[in-house]
Amino acid sequence: MTIDVHDPEGVRLQKVLASAGLGSRRACEELIASGRVTVDGATVRELGVRVDPVRAVIHVDGLRVQLDSSIVTLALNKPKGVVSTMHDPEGRPSIAQYVADRTERLFHVGRLDAETEGLLLLTNDGELANRLSHPSHGVAKTYLAHVEGRVAGSLGGRLTRGIELEDGLVKVDKFQIVQTTPQASLVELVLHEGRNRVVRRLLEEVGHPVTRLVRTQVGPIRLGDLKPGRTRVLSKTEVGSLMTQVGM
């Protein structure tokens, strides 16, 4: 069965792709002709197809294309001591001060406890924020943890099999020891969990209290060399990869 995605009232597909930043119109025509573009799940190879840029769901090479130019998604390197809310009734420093110059109404995606530093995503796309925060989409998060004591090589196996905490079992997807001395260690963990203070509670449970914790990655988005307290706007490709990960 062929789905007819052509909308006679719409805009030519290559023009829509070009205005979304995927290259010149000629380059976008080549993307279409080579079968790399889908509209609402159907592969489109004809150059005359018109689509509604507001409603059409377009993917290129499997990545969702963000067509709405009013949508913005930011990465923030949240400093230690800042709470993950837009306003704190207790008057503590909040993430609002780092996006005070933005006119959009931004939602933070999940949270980091006040003492944890690192990558926090903010967006004015409510659907994307909800999906990224929802446990059912299992978006992986990567942390670097400075912990007390020398970490044994066998700990990774224990953590990937799962550790029972007071609110249930927690399993780590990947674990590696980056550095270790008799007094302290630096470890990296990847997990899908979003429970409150879960990394701190997990490492404390196995006898290695955390002294510093930094989130370095959320899904495909990396903190990179973004300085504490600074933000950057995610590229269209990065936003597309996030949307694809949560089934948008």
Q: Given this model, what pLDDT does residue 1 score? A: 46
Catalytic position from the list 68, 113, 167, 225? 113
Distance separating the N- and C-terminal Cα atoms of the chain: 23
pTM: 0.86
The helix (H) or strand (E) run that includes residue 19 is helix 13-19
Q: Given this model, what pLDDT does residue 3 score? A: 65
Q: Which of 72, 75, 62, 63 is closest to 218 using CA atoms? A: 75
Percentage above 70 pLDDT, the chain: 99
Catalytic annotation on 113? Answer: yes
CB atoms within 10 A of CB 95: 24
CA 162 to chain centre: 24
Q: Given this model, what pLDDT does residue 2 score? A: 54
3-state secondary structure of 53: coil
d(CA 201, CA 165): 8
Summarised one tens digit per residue, pLDDT across range 131-144 is: 998 878 889 999 99
Summarised one tens digit per residue, pLDDT across range 76-113 is: 999 999 999 988 899 999 999 999 999 999 999 989 99
